Amino acid sequence: MADAGGPVRLLVPDRHCDARGWFEETYNQRILAECGIVDAFVQDNQSFSAVRHTLRGIHFQAPPHAQAKLVRCVNGRIFDVAVDLRDGSPTFGKWVGAELSRENGAQLYIPAGFGHAFLTLEPDCDVAYKVSAFHSDAAGGGLAWNDPDIAIDWPGLGPGAAPIVSAKDAAQPLLAQFESAFRYDGQPLVPLAPGCFGNV
């Protein structure tokens, strides 16, 4: 099994505003290391979703290609979710989520060992994220976005409502069929609170 570490963290970079707009550091290795986030990010990804209620996930890469992610919404608003997939974790199958937007500047740090998914809350959303391992088709995996055992409370999706998903995501298996290769590191999933980047 692969080690997976650290808590899921909600990060809010300091934003410096003036009459022109604002400036912020979206990634600072030194500051994140001081907060216990020491992943070496090796690849940047970006997705664009034109339609509100587009859902991507729940995705992960299995060991030895497991990925930690640092996710932000460059344009628009999303509801971003991390699901604990670590074997032996007391919070296995539980999730946390946060709204990420251009306006709030928040980022979600998702360690290896967690599934990742997001739902767009308005049209024309750009999502950018760093990952700690290169993409591997062979290591890619997923779970059903609407798995009743995970029971993610997707904002704006009432009973019977369906988001726009890919054919691949529509056919993902359930948690009950999942055999985890991620090892529990002793840190259960906890509720999110802003931290690091000066906003502790």
As annotated, the active-site residues are 59, 129
State both tokens at 190. 């906890």
DSSP strands (E only) in the chain: 2-3, 9-11, 15-18, 21-24, 43-49, 55-61, 69-75, 77-84, 86-87, 95-101, 107-110, 114-120, 125-131, 140-142, 182-183, 194-195
What single-letter amino acid sits at 71?
V
Measured distance CA(144)–CA(83) in Å, rounded: 12
Distance of CA 60 to the CA centre of its chain: 10
Order of strands across the sheet that contains 2-3? 2-3, 182-183, 86-87
The neighbouring-strand residues paired with 9 are 109
β-pairing, 43-49 with 69-75? Answer: unpaired
CB 102 within 8 A of CB 95: no
